[in-house]
Amino acid sequence: MYDREVISIWLILFVFHINVLVSEPSLNTISSKDTSTTNKITLKVALYPYLPDAGGDNYTGLLQFITDEFNKVYPDIALQLRPLSTNDDFYDLNLLSKWLMADGSGYDIVEIDTVLLGDLVNIGLVAPQFIDSRSQADWHAAANMAVQINHAVYGFPHLLCAYFLYTRDQRIAAVSTIDQLMKILGDSPTDDYRLVGNMDSSWGLPALWINSYQSSSNVSAETVAYALHGYTKSSFENMLKLTGLCNRSRGENHCLDGTFREYQDMPAILFAQNKTAAMFAYSEQLFNILKDGSIDDYHNIKLTPLPIGTAHNQPLFFTDALVFRRNMSDDMLNASGLFAEFMGTSRMQAAIVGSGDKPGSIPRYLLPMSKSAYDDPLLVNNRFYQTYFRNLTGLSCPTVGFLNARKQLQATILDYIGYAKVNSNTSNTSSSSSAASVYEGFGKNLLAYVWTLLLVLLQFSMYHCFPMIVIV
């Protein structure tokens, strides 16, 4: 029998071992079935994990498909892919710093959300890349913009997404401004849902605000002075209107009170069951809607970029990109470039977004960054890709400063619209139950935030996120 002291020591060692496994790069990777690595370059890659699991197998089929297809073309490169898991925090700079160590102890390539790109560049984790101009010509303009800082390219874009408004009502699908949307959905709370979607997020709410500002003005003509004095009269007011469309007559606002944050599939389920007039979400949420909805939804659902501005309607694009660690040998740099170019080909782009790894499955409905991918057999006859996605134009989400500014922006927006969560211990008995979170209004005291926001804007503009000043 072990005494208590010995057992305690073993428990401590066990917990320490688990922590190491969680925090360090996993050795459990999807790799070539040919385990011989003689004369091969081993390329370690961590792909971005936030995408629909079309195969229902925790992405193992997708990773094996990528590995097999790559090895057909480049048999001399031993590709090792990190298993995809949403438990990995791809927004943790400390974790990304370990994964992108210049000595190669982590990964050679990591797929990131480019909203973090400027932060990674600033701390010296990634270096500019030389891009084949022929490949770059096929990139979507927003994706091209997202990987450039000071006119240098720091990554290879992979996938895009954006906020869309989902509806079955042609009148709603035809709107282009927030005021038009309010006119159709009504400006008074009702018992039924009018609009559903999650806004209880320090990432999502500020991103919606940026999109609102861009869609409310001629961004090419903006000045710092207008940004300072004008935003409280347009984009912040639009956020008040948007959040108000989620209000219900019982005083509930599930978009803000944490209900849709806790039950992430609830908006899609409500929309699939025709319990809401409209829903806003990323493009890939269409996967869940079609999976859970009526067979007729493929033909009945209509999409438009979320109409959140007052001047015009264009999406704000979010881009995932492949970035390389520093200090690579020439052979490793070449292998990394070949993988990035391979993932950007029209065939692989279509295969990833169109669930080509699982024939017969519902497409993932992410947006390809390759313009020619829309002509691939997997997408060329798809109603949503050809009608709603193919010809989209818009701007890229900022790639510098957003990480540190987002919580302050969230607080500022909630302050302006007059809501603040005062009870985070909400009891929700089911995904269809009423939210009990309490919000109370307080004054629109924005002056304390003005200079903080202005500094953020100036920082964004310095790094060529997009033609500035566009984001207040």
At 34-62, the pLDDT tens digits run 445 568 999 999 999 999 999 999 999 99
Between β-strands 316-324 and 395-396, what pairing exists: parallel, antiparallel or unpaired?
A: parallel
395 φ, ψ to 5°? -110, 165
Mean pLDDT of 458-462: 47
Average pLDDT over residues 185-206: 94
Q: When comparing pLDDT for 231 and 446, which is higher?
A: 231
Q: What is the DSSP letter of 139?
A: B
Tell me the CATH architecture of domain 22-161+320-389.
Answer: 3-Layer(aba) Sandwich (3.40)
- The C-alpha atoms of residue 439 and residue 422 are separated, in whole angstroms, by 6
Of the pLDDT bands very low, low, confident and very high (cuts 50, 70, 90), residue 234 is low
Task: Please identify which residue in the block is written with the tokens 């940026």.
Answer: 210
pLDDT of amino acid 401 = 85
Residue 320, SS3 per DSSP = strand
Question: What are the sequence ranges of the domains in the chain?
Answer: 22-161+320-389, 163-314+400-462
Which of 93, 94, 107 has the alpha carbon at shortest distance from 26?
107
Q: Give the residue, 31 or 128, on which the prediction is more confident.
A: 128
Query: Is pLDDT above 90 for 422?
Result: no
Residue 321's nearest CA partner among 307, 333, 336 is 336
Answer whether 306's CB lies under 8 Å from 164's CB: yes
- For the cut 90, the answer to whether the pLDDT of residue 20 exceeds it is no
- State how far the Cα of 104 lies from the Cα of 106, in Å rounded to an integer: 5
Mean pLDDT is lowest, of 80-89, 146-155, 216-225, 392-401, for: 216-225
Residue 464 above 80 pLDDT? no
Alpha helices, DSSP H only, in 363-424? Answer: 383-384, 402-417
Exposed (0-12), middle (13-18) or buried (19+): which is 341, by Cβ within 10 Å?
middle
CATH number of this structure's domain 163-314+400-462, picked from the four choices 3.40.190.10, 1.10.3720.10, 3.40.50.300, 3.90.420.10: 3.40.190.10
Asked if the domains at 22-161+320-389 and 163-314+400-462 fall in one CATH topology, the answer is yes
Contact, 241 vs 188, CB < 8 A?
Answer: no
State the chain's mean pLDDT as an integer. Answer: 82
According to the model, what pLDDT value does residue 387 have?
97
Instruction: Decide: 160 and 366 in contact? Cβ < 8 Å.
Output: yes
